[in-house]
Structure 1
Amino acid sequence: MNLNTYNKLKSFISSRKNILILFTLLLIFLFIMIIIVLNSLNNRKKIDINSNNYRNNVRIKINKDDEFPYMNLDVLKLKKKNKDIIGWLRVPSVNIDIPVPQTNNNEFYLTHDIDKKNNDAGWVFLDTRNKLDYIDMNTVFYGHNLKNRQFGLLKQLLKENVHSKKNADLIQFTTIDKQMIFKICSVYITNDNNWSYTEIDFENDNRKALFMKSIQEKNIIKNFDRNRLSSGDKIITLSTCFGNLGTNKRLVVHAKLLSIKDVNIR
């Protein structure tokens, strides 16, 4: 074998090795991606299973005979399954219907489900700063933007067909000793470096009035303009990501307290 033939053969073998290495790496990459996708799908399936389990654990009754459709359920019974649960949140127009926990930090339920098991889909939760023995001026909920689940459903509020539904602006929130009705008054998109909408404490009435005016002016859904805000109102705020993974935008929903009913604890 002459030198020229040897070099060609060596180059061919080297090329074959490189192709084989690249092919092997590609297979490993595809395998890892399949595992990630399957794990993500499984985590989201667990959300549906958990939601149904908790919903079946209590009897949720909507009081349609009352002037306001209060949501009645035994939150204490839910706390036996998870002591972090403080209430149940329902946005009927977009099919949000879920138990809500609160813990001593705002990180835990970003990566854990309602059973406190690791889950990158997380769970909707209440801001650790909020107190429920009285209702703060701004009560803040957070949740991941999941497709057709949890706060990912809030994107439907941007669609016109949702606004034609009965009580399209209704939000119900029930705790251990309170049943509350809220009306959506503002929906908008903001950047994640602006967390002013999660402000809870206000140093004076003027600051509170400016806050209310600001969130009302940010509303991008005309149908919600009719639910006007005043400085004396109390609101809930729902916050989630908006856009693809890694986005710096947030979809924000504000709703004002319309009516509250005290519940006798057994």
Structure 2
Amino acid sequence: MKHTVKLTLAAALFCQPVMAEQYYGFMDVSLNYLDWTDKAEDRTNPNKGGRGGAKEDFFYLELEGGAGFDWGDVYGFVDFENPTNSNDGQFSDEAFATDGFRIAAKGTFAYNLGKSNWNFYGHIYSFTESSSGFFDQNVVVGVSYDIFTDYGLWMKPFIGGHYENQGAAGSGWNGGMLGWVLGYDFQVGKQKFSITNWHETEFARDDQFRSNGTQFKLNSVGWNGAVALWWHLSNNFTGGFQYRYADHKLGTAAYHDALIYTLKYNF
């Protein structure tokens, strides 16, 4: 983990003590291609499974960064999905087009509680779709815990209350969320690799947020995440292969998954 991304860290850095010591920082930009499996496309095809909005493969650009300080850490990303596409205006004939331009962004903040490994934890995730005007914002506030080992494995589990603000369903408390991020660094010969995983499980979801516009209803528990293998080609380039998974999430009342191919440039 390695330099800082201005967009996602700016909001958190104002809380930073004047003489804070920085332990690490990183920033990268990546080109990604998400390829839904046939199973996922069938389950969301209105003429077959019909369990959610139709899924279609897409490219996206991502800006990502984070930093660790003696008081805690911050992380964030911004994704520009179908970045070369546009629409004629909100609620146009292209509304809810599967190849529409979309923005997804997330920021996390963990503040150390004394000298323990416990942190005050918070994150916000935001998704907007240009042609329909749809948006969904998720705020989680709770605690996290830092786990480090001497053999390259690290992990940060978290749990907190979940507040949602959605264009189609309104706003309010929507149960809770637990999850984690973890990573493991290793070498094969002189080549450097790492495995990472992020995961989120929503539980005790309110009926207000469980409709997805079909005859099917999302369960009160849903989860999603990704497992990735990264090959650090050089100091500046990283190639990645991710398995993306979700169950009763992303607007689909079923399990669905995808493969993501990634090339990063590390600043």
Does the pair score TM above 0.5? no
The structure with more strand, counted as a fraction of residues: 2
Q: TM-score if structure 1 supplies the norm length? A: 0.28
Q: TM-score if structure 2 supplies the norm length? A: 0.28
**Higher Rg of the two aligned structures:** 1
